[in-house]
């Protein structure tokens, strides 16, 4: 790779890093702010990515945008496959809570989905959908034994989790909460909602949040 190519790759990465910083800041996304943070000419955002939509799509295309099945399973009980369906589902959701807590920019993108244009939404959905098949295989694709629509329930729970993580509050009446405490509290709530006492040994349903 020659010097020009190296410089181009470095500039593109600087824009992606700047986008992440702007997302975490909570400010409205603008090409000007991203270019300023990257200390680069804003015209290059259009040259390299076609604009803000393309930059967001490039960010979502990274393998780290959403957690993988392997990452999620590492946060769960090692005997996951032997657990009841609702326990597996709860462990999948609570593992997602822990994984999303490490991805504040991803949380902000998911929170802002309604504000994006159709091309950006299509690109983001593609990034979000990547790995879903692996996750379903790891945690069980069948709704048998759950008693509810797993895809709808998962999306509703993750949407709520993003709202809480984005605000970093246990409720609107409390002060800002430290992230580990917040993750643990949300995880306990999810398990309490999804795993009735009759589901079996409570210790099996807790998993290993690390």
Q: How many domains does the chain have?
A: 2
- Last residue of one domain, picked from the residues 30, 60, 90: 60
pLDDT tens digits, one per residue of 104-160 = 999 998 888 888 888 788 877 776 676 677 787 777 755 567 777 888 888 888 888
- Per the confidence metrics, is the pTM higher than 0.85? no
- Domain endpoint, select from 60, 84, 106: 60
Give the CATH number of the domain where residue 7 resides: 1.10.10
CA angle 3, 7, 8 (to 5 degrees): 120
Range of the domain at 21: 3-60
Higher-confidence position of 137 and 163? 163
Q: Based on the fold, state whether residues 21 and 121 are members of the same structural domain.
A: no
C-beta of residue 97 within 8 angstroms of C-beta of residue 156: no
**Helix 132-139 with 85-101: angle, nearest 10 deg:** 140
Residue 187's contacts (CB-CB under 8 Å, 6 or more residues apart) are 94, 97, 98, 209
In this prediction, residue 199 carries a pLDDT of 47
The pLDDT, as a whole number, for residue 2 is: 82
Closest to 55 (Cα-Cα) out of 44, 40, 68, 67: 44
CA distance linking residue 179 with residue 42, whole number of Å: 34
Q: How far apart are CA 59 and CA 122, in angstroms?
A: 13
User: Which of 34, 60, 86 delimits the end of a domain?
Assistant: 60
Is the same domain home to 129 and 195?
Answer: yes
Do 101 and 198 reside in the same domain of the chain? yes
pLDDT of residue 27: 84
Do 126 and 150 lie in a common domain?
yes
**Which pLDDT score is estimated for 1?**
61
Residue range 44-102, pLDDT digits in tens: 999 999 999 899 989 988 888 888 889 999 999 999 888 888 888 889 999 999 999 99
155 and 104 in a common domain: yes
Give the DSSP per-residue string, 184-209.
Answer: HHHHHHHHHHH--GGGS-HHHHH---
CA distance 4 to 10: 10
Looking at the fold, whether 22 and 83 belong to one and the same domain comes out as no
């Amino acid at each position: 790779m020659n010097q020009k190519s190296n410089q181009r790759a470095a500039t593109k990465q600087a824009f992606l890093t700047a986008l992440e910083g702007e997302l975490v800041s909570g400010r409205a996304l603008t090409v000007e702010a991203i270019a300023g943070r990257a200390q680069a000419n804003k015209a290059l955002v259009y040259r390299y990515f076609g604009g803000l939509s393309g930059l967001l799509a490039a960010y979502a295309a990274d393998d780290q945008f959403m957690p993988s099945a392997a990452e999620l399973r590492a946060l769960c009980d090692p005997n996951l496959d032997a657990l009841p369906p609702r326990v597996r589902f709860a462990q999948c959701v609570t593992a997602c809570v822990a994984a999303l807590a490490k991805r504040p920019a991803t949380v902000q993108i998911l929170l802002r989905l309604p504000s994006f244009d159709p091309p950006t939404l299509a690109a983001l959905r593609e990034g979000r959908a990547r790995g879903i098949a692996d996750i379903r295989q790891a945690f069980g694709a069948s709704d048998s034994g759950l008693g509810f629509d797993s895809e709808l329930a998962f999306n509703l729970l993750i949407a709520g989790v993003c709202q809480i993580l984005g605000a970093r509050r246990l409720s609107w009446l409390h002060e800002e909460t430290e992230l580990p405490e917040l993750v643990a509290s949300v995880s306990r709530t999810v398990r309490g909602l999804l795993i009735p006492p009759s589901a079996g040994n409570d210790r099996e349903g807790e998993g290993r949040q690390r």
